[in-house]
């Protein structure tokens, strides 16, 4: 890689050990991927966030970088915490686990992370713009940033993302380059009407399986999907496959037309998606056949304030059944708003618990012994059987709430 004189000085150790270490890592990554240079990035989003996935090695690595003097030089946000940040004891987090999580939190705080633990940093305090180079690691947020915002990032990984935050640069490769952002597969969405809420994550789940890491171009999206709809679509596609960028014609800034999205590429495949394909993938997503459920989990990715309001409205004053536990995961911004609006109080009166800045996948949920999770999330549907060892019922938000009230699975389709 060609390095500037400033970058060579950092590599030489002129700016301290932490920056030297971070530069060494970035140069190694860049050279192994044939990057020609480093480019400035405007923000970083970290995934060294939860003891459940960082383990002791990750905690110690973060502490060592912080002790060496590592400090972020660009705005750096972080994924959800590995435990409830308001009350980890009430969430049955084991003491030993909590101690390690607190060590990890302290290390990234020392480096200057913006302490809102969330996978939806784009809801408020880290919103990238069209064409901006960023370095994010959370797969659902990467997919959202590339697809919805038109920003540019690869799916970065833990520790390397810390190095990018310290240097404020990333090797120029992958989705930072125009030639790697062209559409590869045409997806003809033949539903003929705006999608229903549950169909967005179902479509994402289906596309993740079909595309793998290829770039799909969705033609035929009707209506005006909300940010929450697009968030759930992107998250599911990034989980069931490794989709980092979808061109949704008319929505993705680079995809004003199908021609724009392919930029001269010939589609290597055309996939038609009809209403029955979404119904079929929904059936495949469910691993549970009975009617009993013990846990309803919403907020993967973290729920927005609008989604919390929607749950309140669906409940319409009713309480959830005593046999069901229902949690909503959200970040501290959305929770604060819900408190000011009285929404949190209404949800809690109904029997719902708001879990702060963590989630069902990256916290030690096994302590609760849940057998079946019902969720409106395609991403949770993908990971829960592996990470939480539970069965899954995937459904619309409305069906999740109605089931929680009834105490058993209530499906409209």
Q: Which residues bind ligand F3S (CB under 6 A)?
A: 79-80, 119, 140, 235, 300-302, 329, 359, 361-362, 379, 383
Q: Give min distance, CB of 6 to ligand F3S, in A.
A: 35
Q: Are the beta carbons of 377 and 298 closer than 8 angstroms?
A: yes
Cβ proximity of 329 and 297 under 8 Å: yes
Residue 20 vs 242, nearer CB to ligand F3S: 242
Beta carbon nearer to ligand F3S, 176 or 394: 394
In angstroms, what is the minimal distance from the CB of 204 to ligand F3S? 12
Q: Which is nearer to ligand F3S, 249 or 381 (CB)?
A: 381
Alpha helix (H) ranges present in 134-272? Answer: 139-144, 160-167, 199-211, 227-240, 258-262
State in angstroms the smallest separation of the CB of 228 from ligand F3S: 13
Q: Considering the complex, what minimum distance in angstroms separates the CB of residue 33 from ligand F3S?
A: 26
Q: Which run of H or of E encompasses 59?
A: helix 51-67
Alpha carbon 263 to its chain's center: 28
Nearer to ligand F3S, 21 or 123 (CB): 123
The helix or strand, by DSSP H or E, that contains position 32, with its residue range, turns out to be helix 17-32
Other CB atoms closer than 10 Å to residue 412's CB: what's the count? 10
Identify the bridge partners of residue 129 per DSSP, sorted by sequence position.
none
Least distance to ligand F3S from the beta carbon of 238, Å?
9
Within 10 Å of residue 174's Cβ, how many Cβ atoms? 18
With beta carbons less than 8 A apart as the criterion, state whether 261 and 326 touch: no
Least distance (Å) between residue 113 CB and ligand F3S: 15
331 or 396: CB nearest ligand F3S: 331
Q: Decide if 285 contacts 392 (C-beta within 8 A).
A: yes
What is the closest distance, in whole angstroms, from the C-beta atom of residue 201 to ligand F3S in the complex? Answer: 11
Tokens 């596309």 appear where? 207
Q: To the nearest whole angstrom, how small is the minimum distance from the Cβ of residue 140 to ligand F3S? A: 4
With vertex at residue 208, the alpha carbon angle to CA 163 and CA 356, rounded to the nearest 5 degrees, is 55
CB nearer to ligand F3S: give 350 or 365: 365
Nearer to ligand F3S, 155 or 169 (CB): 155
H or E element that contains 65: helix 51-67
Least distance (Å) from ligand F3S to the CB of residue 377?
7
Give whichever of 134 and 388 is closer to ligand F3S, judged by the CB atom.
388
SS3 category, 13: coil
In the complex with ligand F3S, the residue whose CB is nearer, 82 or 128, is 82
Helix and strand element counts for the chain (H, E): 15, 14
Pairing mode, strands 44-46 and 76-78: parallel
119 versus 164: smaller Cβ distance to ligand F3S: 119
Bridge partners for 1 per DSSP: none
3-class DSSP state of 164: helix
How far apart, in Å, are the Cα atoms of 132 and each of 175, 281, 369? Answer: 12, 34, 44
284 Cβ partners below 8 Å, 6+ apart? none
Q: Measured from the CB of residue 49, what is the shortest distance to ligand F3S in angstroms?
A: 8
Strands, E assignment, 80-136:
135-136
């Amino acid at each position: 890689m060609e390095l500037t004189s400033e970058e060579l000085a950092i590599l030489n150790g002129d700016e301290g050990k932490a920056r030297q270490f971070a530069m060494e890592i970035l140069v190694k990554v860049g050279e192994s991927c044939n990057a020609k240079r480093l480019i400035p990035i405007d923000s970083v989003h970290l995934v060294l966030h939860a003891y459940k996935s960082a383990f002791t090695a990750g905690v110690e690595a973060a502490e060592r970088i912080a002790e060496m003097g590592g400090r972020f030089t660009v705005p750096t946000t972080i994924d959800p915490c590995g435990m409830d940040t308001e009350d980890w004891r009430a969430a049955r987090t084991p003491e030993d686990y909590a101690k390690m999580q607190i060590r990890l939190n302290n290390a990234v705080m020392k480096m200057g992370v913006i302490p809102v633990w969330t996978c939806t940093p784009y809801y408020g305090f880290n919103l990238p713009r069209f064409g901006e180079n960023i370095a994010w690691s959370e797969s659902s947020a990467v997919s959202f940033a590339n697809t919805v915002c038109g920003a540019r990032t690869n799916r970065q990984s833990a520790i390397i993302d810390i190095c990018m935050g310290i240097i404020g640069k990333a090797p120029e490769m992958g989705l930072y380059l125009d030639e790697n952002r062209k559409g590869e597969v045409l997806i003809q969405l033949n539903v003929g009407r705006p999608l229903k809420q549950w169909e967005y994550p179902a479509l994402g789940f289906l596309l993740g399986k079909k595309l793998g890491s290829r770039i799909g171009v969705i033609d035929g999206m009707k209506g005006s999907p909300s940010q929450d709809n697009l968030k759930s679509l992107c998250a599911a596609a990034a989980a069931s496959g490794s989709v980092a960028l979808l061109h949704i014609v008319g929505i993705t800034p680079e995809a004003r037309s199908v021609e724009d999205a392919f930029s001269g590429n010939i589609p290597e495949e055309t996939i038609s998606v009809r209403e029955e394909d979404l119904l079929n993938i929904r059936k495949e997503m469910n691993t549970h056949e009975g009617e009993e459920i013990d846990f309803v989990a919403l907020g993967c990715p973290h729920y927005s304030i609008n989604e919390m309001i929607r749950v309140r409205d669906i409940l319409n004053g009713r309480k959830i059944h005593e046999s069901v536990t229902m949690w909503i995961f959200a970040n501290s911004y959305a929770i604060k708003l819900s408190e000011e609006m009285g929404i949190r109080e209404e949800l809690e009166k109904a029997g719902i618990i708001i879990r702060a800045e963590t989630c069902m996948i990256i916290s030690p949920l096994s302590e609760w012994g849940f057998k079946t999770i019902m969720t409106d999330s395609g991403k949770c549907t993908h990971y829960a059987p592996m990470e939480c060892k539970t069965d899954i019922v995937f459904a619309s938000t409305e069906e999740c709430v109605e089931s929680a009230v009834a105490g058993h699975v209530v499906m409209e389709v």
